[in-house]
Structure 1
């Protein structure tokens, strides 16, 4: 019998995508889609764009102009894209990348990308400004499941809460994968991102669900990066040699951001190589702030997680270079804690999607605040002297906040901001809709 309450029928777990079986709704066409911009290593002078079409007869162009108030775009700069083919359940698609350099800082540009006899809309993109110029950025934990149905509202609320945001960090597991609908899942992720993706500098980390198991259940079983990741984003390409497709760094308006690959570190033995690379990236950092993004948390929030390799190899580098924030995902709950011996780094794990796990007793004892059964996004306001962090729920309510202040000598002070936070949230269900007691929601 279906339960009925004051609001009607009780909701049940939904399919992972809105795509009916056998549908090729997200098949590539002559029209460009899945347009996403990402920062260059120096985000003040360049950015890159990735997009997708069906197979084209000639390399497509990106056209760029200074954004103005007239429909006359004036003199256009044309850049020829590099392209790669991808095969998926939706057929053949061609993925393109165009790198734009030599730009002016803090300048609004208009760009469009080409298909087969077609063009995209004109998109606006503003380059990063100077180091002391105020910056607002968004951070999203795992999206992964039901992107179009559930994640889209979190991304919309994030943009409505912080309409001046220029940079968006994603902590990995953008899609779930592995069910024969990978391309449709990516299609829904891009649909959920809407106009944010082509108009903002988007910097994702790869999660374990961006990988798949090759030769599964055989002695040769191994983790392999999925085919969508290398072609879906135009990332800086300056990472560790062992993880060239999934690690990178860039400077954005006073912040040095370094993105790691926790899956490769844990499962493919690249932790030491990534630690050495990160050490070099942070050693010459002239920016007043530093953020590291990695999918798997160094301090796990879910029971029976073991990320001790990250703790052993990566944490000493973070401590040595006084990193401010470590932004993570993976455990599908929320939790924040300081480093073992200092207020910084602050280690934060969050989840934007509807898949919700349960916190371990260890996480509850060592982290504050924590949350279950809560979709979240994070807003960071940064300038040369202050970093303010806010975690907000899918409806925009303040759940967590703190501030890091920087004096004239570079010394930093951490302050909790408790005013305006809503009450802590725990899972109210003994089991998930599918009867699992290790999850709160599917």
Structure 2
């Protein structure tokens, strides 16, 4: 009800002697007092995500050969030590037979929610393209049985998802992107996250990870999850002192059971890895380590080896920081100097990135070839503004839009679609493998117009961002 209608109603009520306490409508009364939403839905002092004997934060990730194995990570309280994972071939009967049992390794982590035990079980010796049922053990209890299919033959169709930064307000707003992603890609087998899964560094790290798993939902257990680390997966040790340095957060190496075939930097756990999934080689690069810890040259040598011996038909590089930044005043020189030449030389098909909280796509740096295709996207609530250079060199671009990306590979074609949180088509193209190279076909039918930010500033008064 608008203010004019409210005054008319008040006049009628007064004339009839019925006026008691009609209040000004909430939208009129509070319009000028709209407050920013907190980063989590957990009130201060509430231990919403305290660990218990019931297994939670269950997530499956691919083995190096995803047709033969996968690994599962999960969390319990400290009463559970070295639990087991049970696995069997899924069937139509509730009788799954005698399952295979795998003992997990366990590591402890203390957070604002108390002491937790994080477990990892590596499952090998599986058959390609088979649907398996698995469950994980807690304290005198089990998780539900979950189902996961191993990667099949390279000739079979493959559906996967790519999500940019989730980072902020995961339970509140990222969750709707995930629900739409499941609607758009119901047969998704693999999910790639381009880093900054959470914001971190605010005393709510464990709450944020709890909300990330809530938002990811069934994706974490019914498909294989492959994340890249972002700068927010690190924290600043000795901040604002001469000893300041980046340190990988304690949650990262415990919450994901990733392949151990990457390289380590400065004694930290490996944050690079690669795997093959049904005709696709995926290499995950740590942009933060490359830029801030001096590992760019070492990662380039490692990536060159991974891509040199590459029998799959398709290749994807997943990294947090972009090679071509769509945000103003960002230029990741060390990535361009060391890693980009490797990517261009090997004609990687897709380079999937995050970090800049906008959307932008462009082709190779210095050639007329179709690949690599560089994409930056964002799934979460934080939204930045595009630079003028991005508007001149990328097509399409976008601001103020939560997005998901569905990728489908079949019959020598890779089809890429970016869709908004409400399911509208934002970008689409195909890469067609013609034997001696790839051809890019733009798919413009059905796309909505590129979106721009219509706000002058955020609710916190920041003009360099669109939303936060």
Q: Deviation per CA, 1:348-382, whole angstroms, max 9, x where unpaired? A: 00000010000011111100000000000000001
Q: 1:58 Cα deviation (Å)?
A: 3.7
- Determine if contact 2:300/2:338 at 8 Å carries over to the other structure: yes
In terms of Rg, which structure is larger? 2
2:173 to 150, 169, 175: 150
- Determine if contact 2:264/2:271 at 8 Å carries over to the other structure: no
Q: TM-score, with normalisation over the residues of structure 2?
A: 0.92
- Determine if contact 1:238/1:244 at 8 Å carries over to the other structure: no
Query: Residue 259 of structure 2: SS of its match in structure 1?
Result: coil
Q: Deviation per CA, 1:393-420, whole angstroms, max 9, x where unpaired? A: 000100000001012x342111111111
Match for residue 76 of structure 2? 53
- Determine if contact 1:391/1:401 at 8 Å carries over to the other structure: yes
- Determine if contact 2:370/2:438 at 8 Å carries over to the other structure: no
Determine if the alignment matches structure 1 residue 433 to structure 2 residue 456: no
Match for residue 198 of structure 1? 221
Distance 1:422 1:80 in 2: 50
Q: Deviation per CA, 1:257-288, whole angstroms, max 9, x where unpaired? A: 00000000000000000000000000000000
Determine if the alignment matches structure 1 residue 325 to structure 2 residue 345: no
Q: Say if 1:149 and 1:68 are closer, same or farther in 2 by CA, change over 3 A.
A: same
- Determine if contact 1:380/1:387 at 8 Å carries over to the other structure: yes
Q: 1:11 Cα deviation (Å)?
A: 6.0
- Determine if contact 1:2/1:9 at 8 Å carries over to the other structure: no
Q: Say if 1:66 and 1:10 are closer, same or farther in 2 by CA, change over 3 A.
A: farther
Distance 2:243 2:464 in 1: 30
Determine if the alignment matches structure 1 residue 301 to structure 2 residue 313: no
Q: 1:2 Cα deviation (Å)?
A: 9.8
Query: Residue 281 of structure 1: SS of its match in structure 2?
Result: helix
Q: Say if 1:329 and 1:57 are closer, same or farther in 2 by CA, change over 3 A.
A: closer
- Determine if contact 1:254/1:383 at 8 Å carries over to the other structure: no
Distance 1:118 1:11 in 2: 45
Within a 5 Å distance, the mapping from 1:351-370 to structure 2 comes to 351-370=378-397
Q: 1:140 Cα deviation (Å)?
A: 0.2
- Determine if contact 2:358/2:400 at 8 Å carries over to the other structure: yes
Q: 1:383 Cα deviation (Å)?
A: 2.4
- Determine if contact 2:89/2:132 at 8 Å carries over to the other structure: yes
1:212 to 235, 244, 250: 235
- Determine if contact 2:158/2:408 at 8 Å carries over to the other structure: yes
Determine if the alignment matches structure 1 residue 278 to structure 2 residue 298: no
Match for residue 159 of structure 1? 182
2:39 to 4, 7, 16: 16
Q: Say if 1:9 and 1:198 are closer, same or farther in 2 by CA, change over 3 A.
A: farther
Query: Residue 153 of structure 1: SS of its match in structure 2?
Result: helix
Determine if the alignment matches structure 1 residue 131 to structure 2 residue 154: yes
1:96 to 89, 100, 119: 119
Match for residue 390 of structure 1? 417
Distance 2:296 2:63 in 1: 25
Distance 1:390 1:266 in 2: 30
Query: Residue 4 of structure 1: SS of its match in structure 2?
Result: helix
- Determine if contact 2:154/2:278 at 8 Å carries over to the other structure: yes
Q: 1:196 Cα deviation (Å)?
A: 1.1
2:399 to 348, 365, 372: 372
Within a 5 Å distance, the mapping from 1:224-263 to structure 2 comes to 224-242=247-265, 244-263=269-288
Q: Say if 1:2 and 1:12 are closer, same or farther in 2 by CA, change over 3 A.
A: farther
Compute the RMSD of aligned alpha carbons.
1.7
Match for residue 15 of structure 2? none
Q: 1:12 Cα deviation (Å)?
A: 4.2
- Determine if contact 1:40/1:250 at 8 Å carries over to the other structure: yes
Query: Residue 46 of structure 2: SS of its match in structure 1?
Result: coil
- Determine if contact 1:111/1:123 at 8 Å carries over to the other structure: yes
Unmatched runs of 5 consecutive residues or more in structure 1:
none
Distance 1:2 1:174 in 2: 38
Q: 1:131 Cα deviation (Å)?
A: 1.1
Number of corresponding residues: 441
Q: 1:209 Cα deviation (Å)?
A: 0.2
